[in-house]
Structure 1
Amino acid sequence: MKAITANSYGDPDVLELTDQPDPKVAPDSVLIRVKAAGVNPVDWKILAGYLDPIMHVHFPLIPGWDVSGVVEAVGMDATEYAVGDEVFGYVRKDEVQHGTFAELVAAPVRTLARKPAALDWKQAAGVPLAGLTAYQTLKRLGVGSGDTVLVHAAAGGVGAFAVQIAVARGARVIGTASEHNHDFLRSLGAEPVTYGDGLADRVRALAPEGVDAAADFVGGDAVDVSQQVLKDPKRVASVVDNEVVGKGGHLVWVRPDSADLTALADLAEAGKLTVNIDTALPLDQAAEAFRRSQSGRARGKIVLDLS
């Protein structure tokens, strides 16, 4: 099979298109013919060595954790799926080596769900990591009907999912973003506020009695600002601020979860979850996809299109 590989840590220039052996399929896994693979900031951070202290990374490395595709073979105990099924998933394994930037990927069934028909291959590949991060953060916070939720970086890849999921749960959403993204946030159902100095005052102007929960997808002083406007300062979660636990909140590290993926698929089928594709590139342009992600200028998902 063709795959994107790296033989060492480095910048995107170390990526190359190579021939690799087809993956072996474990008893609890299926073999997927990849149609699209989502690109996330964690992919280039792994390549740069940032996750080396907490995860075993092996070379040659095939990056990528997000995938959509068609089941081509099933393991002897992977009874959940059959050949020909359309699936999508967050294929993060315990060690990092055999990722999704390839024509074929072996994926444990615990990392997969059935692809929603409402999304095309590229859109489906853009959901898993970012969508699960948003979903699991809101679930950790217990966000539900009647809550007012503050979402930091609401126009970003994770934040846009969080806005839609919270709205679908019946919450009121206040989302931080630069002014040129305010109309985009309104289209998702959020009330936009500009981030930066004075944010707490701007949030209080919209919610004088305070907000019920806050989700931080950007870092910096987002947790501190959130606690200034929260009714309960402990009802804050962050995916980037390791100090949030010491401040009484929650740190979220996204997990593969079939049930949560299925919930996201159900929202998409109901028309309550849309996916904006910023850039779609062929497999052999993975390095350019990484550079696009590193720029921080993408509004929407970056995917590799193998369809």
Structure 2
Amino acid sequence: MPRAVQFNRFGPTDELEVVSVDAPRPGDGEVRVRVLAAGLNPVDWKIVADQAVARHYGFTGFPSGNGNDLAGVVDEIGPGVAGFRTGDRVFGGGRFLAQADFTVARADTLHSTPDGLTDEQAGTLDIAGRTAMAEVRHLAPSADDTILVSAAAGGVGVLAAQLARRAGARVIGTASVANHDYLRRRGIEPVGYGEGMPDRIRELAPEGVTAVLDHHGRETIDLGLALGVPPERINSIADKRYADEVGVMSVGGAEAEAGDLDELAALIAAGDIDLPIDAIYPVERVREAYAHLTAGHLRGKVVLTFE
């Protein structure tokens, strides 16, 4: 029988289990996707851990599925669907539905997976890709900018940093030492975490930092303000509440535009943007996958696969 990741109470990700379920059937305007890869996001474990977070994202009761990002192939087409055929490679998102052998999605929310983009990469794009595209567009970087990107090797940061570089900006990225060489190869100037980080950034950019993209939290926001960056040139997706308190921006995936994911997918497929996959786990090892995610210091994304 088809499998799905589910949880039956709120708590640590040890509550997640793989269970047998009936395969869903598509309705009007829907397609069924045979899921091949499902990317993990921090919000996924926060939903498991916190009832308030889960309800914010539409939780309706137990047992609950998990995950959002997915990629696979069209398996069945419902009435009224045009533009897709069975066997087409697609990617997209479905809150509480992604981590399963089969999921049903509205056809107009799915994207064609271009040649050159793996299912593992495509299966991580829905949240991180929309977020990175939206925050960089809002910042509108140029060759006149020196931008500080926190968590620059992480799932969103690695995309945002490269998009800012592609726009001509100089990019300084905070990251663990293990990811410094990787960032340098992408044209990003790395700086290590820990004591003395603000001084290291000032040494790298004595002329100053002009903008901040924060994927870490209030420490980065405070640092940006201390460096003299105007609040309207600081954007945080990591601590929106604090961002509101101090008057900096918090533009994220909700502000993405319709063509963003197709544009980003094409850039990755062409090799213009790199999307690293830190680790791949079969769905049966879902708890290990989340432990890997929550340990932090990732290079790119963590992915579940379904075979």
Structure 1 counterpart of 2:70, from 67, 71, 90 = 67
Query: Taking structure 1 as reference, are residues 78 and 235 closer, same or farther at Cα in structure 2, changes over 3 Å only?
Result: farther
Q: Is the partner of 1:140 in helix, strand or coil?
A: helix
Corresponding position: 1:280 with 2:271: no
Q: Distance in 2 between matches of 1:268 and 1:102?
A: 25
Q: Distance in 2 between matches of 1:105 and 1:199?
A: 44
Structure 2 counterpart of 1:85, from 81, 85, 88 = 88
Q: Which runs of 5+ in 1 are unaligned?
A: none
Equivalent position of 2:260 in the other structure: 260
Any conservation in 2 of the 1:200–1:228 contact (CA below 8 Å)?
Answer: no
* AA at the equivalent of 2:286: A
Deviation at 1:90, TM superposition (A): 2.8
Equivalent position of 1:25 in the other structure: 26
Equivalent position of 1:293 in the other structure: 293
Corresponding position: 1:163 with 2:170: no
Q: Is the partner of 1:45 in helix, strand or coil?
A: helix
Q: Is the partner of 1:225 in helix, strand or coil?
A: helix
Query: Taking structure 1 as reference, are residues 270 and 74 closer, same or farther at Cα in structure 2, changes over 3 Å only?
Result: same
Deviation at 1:228, TM superposition (A): 2.6
Paired-residue identity, %: 40
The correspondence of residues 149-228 of structure 1 with structure 2, limited to 5 A, is 149-228=147-226
Q: Distance in 1 between matches of 2:301 and 2:248?
A: 28
Higher mean alpha-carbon deviation, 14-23 vs 38-47, is at 14-23
Cα RMSD, aligned residues only: 2.1
Q: Distance in 1 between matches of 2:202 and 2:296?
A: 29
Q: Distance in 2 between matches of 1:283 and 1:257?
A: 31
1:216-257 residue CA offsets vs partner (Å, 9 max, x unmatched): 000031111112335533211101222213323211342376
* AA at the equivalent of 1:13: D
Query: Taking structure 1 as reference, are residues 75 and 258 closer, same or farther at Cα in structure 2, changes over 3 Å only?
Result: farther
Structure 1 counterpart of 2:133, from 127, 132, 135 = 135
Equivalent position of 1:249 in the other structure: 248
1:175-195 residue CA offsets vs partner (Å, 9 max, x unmatched): 112333211210121011223
Any conservation in 2 of the 1:12–1:288 contact (CA below 8 Å)?
Answer: no
Deviation at 1:284, TM superposition (A): 1.4
Q: Is the partner of 2:199 in helix, strand or coil?
A: helix
Number of aligned pairs?
Answer: 302
1:192-220 residue CA offsets vs partner (Å, 9 max, x unmatched): 12233443333233333322321000003
Any conservation in 2 of the 1:112–1:258 contact (CA below 8 Å)?
Answer: no
* AA at the equivalent of 2:246: K
Q: Distance in 1 between matches of 2:251 and 2:13?
A: 27
Structure ranking higher in helix proportion: 2
Q: Distance in 2 between matches of 1:84 and 1:144?
A: 41
Q: Distance in 2 between matches of 1:299 and 1:100?
A: 22
Any conservation in 2 of the 1:41–1:294 contact (CA below 8 Å)?
Answer: yes
* AA at the equivalent of 1:56: G
Higher mean alpha-carbon deviation, 270-279 vs 65-74, is at 270-279
1:154-189 residue CA offsets vs partner (Å, 9 max, x unmatched): 122221111122122222111112333211210121
Equivalent position of 1:116 in the other structure: 114
Equivalent position of 1:104 in the other structure: 102
* AA at the equivalent of 2:100: A
Deviation at 1:87, TM superposition (A): 1.1
* AA at the equivalent of 1:15: L
Any conservation in 1 of the 2:179–2:299 contact (CA below 8 Å)?
Answer: no
Any conservation in 2 of the 1:116–1:268 contact (CA below 8 Å)?
Answer: no
Deviation at 1:137, TM superposition (A): 1.4
Query: Taking structure 1 as reference, are residues 53 and 36 closer, same or farther at Cα in structure 2, changes over 3 Å only?
Result: closer
Tell me the TM-score normalized by structure 2: 0.90
Q: Distance in 1 between matches of 2:30 and 2:141?
A: 33
Q: Distance in 2 between matches of 1:299 and 1:259?
A: 26
Corresponding position: 1:34 with 2:32: no
Deviation at 1:110, TM superposition (A): 4.4
Q: Is the partner of 1:221 in helix, strand or coil?
A: helix
Query: Taking structure 1 as reference, are residues 53 and 5 closer, same or farther at Cα in structure 2, changes over 3 Å only?
Result: closer
Structure 1 counterpart of 2:233, from 235, 239, 244 = 235
